[in-house]
Chain A
């Protein structure tokens, strides 16, 4: 990832509100958040606090009721082709990995690369490189059902990195993993971040997992209740 000429802030959320049920439910109520390029931020909070809603808004999977969100300096509200933007700027990792069960691991990694300039061969080669990066070299022909939970999540991380995104957003990536797999996934995040300089925002309810980030942002009742560096938390 080349940061030259890029906006210094990877993510900016300004007074973001998200209301559901005709305004009765205030999932987010004036959130302000700024994530610097290359930063690793954990968003924590109790269930229903709005942390996943915030992540979905940052991922351009949903739109805020009001407020402004900028990713890589671009106001999401002004982007005409959000699919393209998501494909090229954002990598997503879900709690349940969401791999396509009928496709083998390598093909799952290639999926986001359709619609990019990459040729068939380039997609194949890129998938192999990414699988090697997540320590799954040689497992490209396996189906997701043939892998452990931790391995599947690593495939999902490889998929998220397919288009070399500047921002990776992970929603409870360790939520369904055993402790050994949690350690491995977090170690992978740290290593990839160090190697690629990617910006990582991770939603987690696990305080121990959150402490591996540079910064912990705590959401309560749809607002930022605390924003501290990890060492201080």
Chain B
């Protein structure tokens, strides 16, 4: 029998307790992994909005609670367009509305002349007219799901539009939405003279980080976003979700550790005599510590494995919630699984350390005298 085998055997010998503890840990790990997947997915969705345009970076209003609440005056947009480093700066008004089964149908208001710089390819039909108020283009995914084609009518928020073209921006979120003239969407949304985001393409050779800093220095009310990690600067909701996610991880870790400690302490009281025997036959204290921590780790890993499985189920269930339909597109990355592993290992170490130390510090004689 190997030492690892002994550790596993000790866990296996107490099946019911192991199972109950593992279930409790699994629930904690499930919470952590599900929240991580959801946060990741929401972040991906939000970032997808920023990447709808073919931009080097995006400019938004700083510190808004939600990206879509960002508001940039078109005068400010013109000042950004005036920087010599800028090749194109496309201002887009972005709104969402409920359409069919999609609670967040994306509408992008964009001047017709900016369609090409924005990276829009019209794959069927023609673009909308520059000043049209009742023309719209649909992303090819939206057209497919809505069963619409060029020439069809579509009613959005009591406004009826004619579909002039079907477009592709090469990105799921954008291709699932619509585009219409900026002025038309500004009128419908009662936001004249405002855009939500500015998508900036710089000239070749521009030092992008330095240029972003310059824009932020010149326009303190604006923030530039290039990567996912920048995203929190313009979307406090996501910051809050990320904070809640981290808080839940810590909470799950603490609760899990308490559960593990409870189990291992119960085990310690039951096995006092056993620890006494081990000490009496010459086991070193460190070996007993490693054994008890190893047992805690095995239980925690069993819980983690079950927790990851439960997290798949929980994420699928969340996807079915009406408010999250179309928004939550879970992506399972190794990060989530590593986190489950860290949390499980943390639970084992924090929860197992005290019982392990108590077992190791037992006097063999006292332990052998206990019933």
Decide yes or no whether B10 CB sits under 8 A from chain A: yes
Q: Mark A3-29, 1 if CB is under 8 A from B, else 0.
A: 000000000000000000000000000
Q: In the complex the two chains form, is B282's CB within 8 Å of A102's CB?
A: no
Known: A61-B364, A102-B9, A102-B10. A115 touches B2 (CB 8 A): no
Q: In the complex the two chains form, is B280's CB within 8 Å of A114's CB?
A: no
* Interface-lining segment among A38-46, A104-112, A173-181, A220-228: A104-112
Assembled-state Cα–Cα distance A110/B287 (Å): 15
Q: Mark B278-297, 1 if CB is under 8 A from A, else 0.
A: 11111111010000000000
**What are the residues of chain B within 8 A of A94 when measuring CB–CB?**
368
Assembled-state Cα–Cα distance A62/B364 (Å): 9
Assembled-state Cα–Cα distance A110/B6 (Å): 11
Q: In the complex the two chains form, is B281's CB within 8 Å of A86's CB?
A: yes
Give min CB distance, B224 to chain A, whole Å: 60
Decide yes or no whether B277 CB sits under 8 A from chain A: yes
Give min CB distance, A172 to chain B, whole Å: 13
Q: Which residue of A lies closest to B365 (CB)?
A: A61
Assembled-state Cα–Cα distance A115/B277 (Å): 15
**What are the residues of chain B within 8 A of A124 when measuring CB–CB?**
1
Known: A83-B279, A100-B274, A102-B10. A114 touches B285 (CB 8 A): no
Q: In the complex the two chains form, is A98's CB within 8 Å of B273's CB?
A: yes
**What are the residues of chain A within 8 A of B10 when measuring CB–CB?**
102
Give min CB distance, A103 to chain B, whole Å: 7
**What are the residues of chain A within 8 A of B13 when measuring CB–CB?**
102
Decide yes or no whether A205 CB sits under 8 A from chain B: no
Known: A92-B280, A124-B1. A83 touches B9 (CB 8 A): no
Give min CB distance, A75 to chain B, whole Å: 18
Give min CB distance, B287 to chain A, whole Å: 6
Of B1, B6, B274, B365, most buried by chain A (CB within 10 Å of CB) is B1
Checking A59, A107, A115 against B283 with a beta-carbon cut-off of 8 angstroms, the contacting residue is: A115
Of B9, B273, B364, most buried by chain A (CB within 10 Å of CB) is B364
Assembled-state Cα–Cα distance A110/B283 (Å): 12
Q: Mark B1-19, 1 if CB is under 8 A from A, else 0.
A: 1110010011001000000
Checking A98, A107, A111 against B368 with a beta-carbon cut-off of 8 angstroms, the contacting residue is: A98
Decide yes or no whether A123 CB sits under 8 A from chain B: yes
Number of A-B contacts (CB under 8 A): 65
How many residues of chain A are within 8 Å of chain B by beta carbon?
A: 31
Q: In the complex the two chains form, is B282's CB within 8 Å of A88's CB?
A: yes
**What are the residues of chain A within 8 A of B284 when measuring CB–CB?**
81, 83-84, 115
Q: In the complex the two chains form, is B364's CB within 8 Å of A114's CB?
A: no
Assembled-state Cα–Cα distance A133/B264 (Å): 37
Assembled-state Cα–Cα distance A123/B3 (Å): 11
Known: A61-B365, A110-B1, A114-B287. A86 touches B6 (CB 8 A): no
Give min CB distance, A162 to chain B, whole Å: 8
Q: Which residue of A lies closest to B10 (CB)?
A: A102
Checking A84, A106, A123 against B282 with a beta-carbon cut-off of 8 angstroms, the contacting residue is: A84
Q: In the complex the two chains form, is A120's CB within 8 Å of B281's CB?
A: no
Q: Which residue of B lies closest to A103 (CB)?
A: B9
**What are the residues of chain A within 8 A of B364 when measuring CB–CB?**
61
Assembled-state Cα–Cα distance A107/B274 (Å): 14
Chain A, 83-102, CB within 8 A of any chain B CB = 83-88, 90, 92, 94, 98, 100, 102
Q: Which residue of A lies closest to B278 (CB)?
A: A111
**Chain A residues proximal to chain B, CB less than 8 Å:** 56, 59, 61-62, 81, 83-88, 90, 92, 94, 98, 100, 102-103, 106-107, 110-112, 114-115, 120, 123-124, 159, 162-163
A-B contact pairs, 16 of them (CB 8 A): A61-B365, A83-B284, A84-B282, A85-B282, A87-B282, A88-B282, A92-B281, A98-B280, A102-B10, A111-B277, A112-B281, A112-B282, A114-B6, A120-B2, A159-B281, A162-B281
- Which 6 pairs, one residue from A and one from B, show the smallest C-beta to C-beta distance? A87-B282, A102-B13, A112-B281, A86-B282, A98-B277, A61-B365
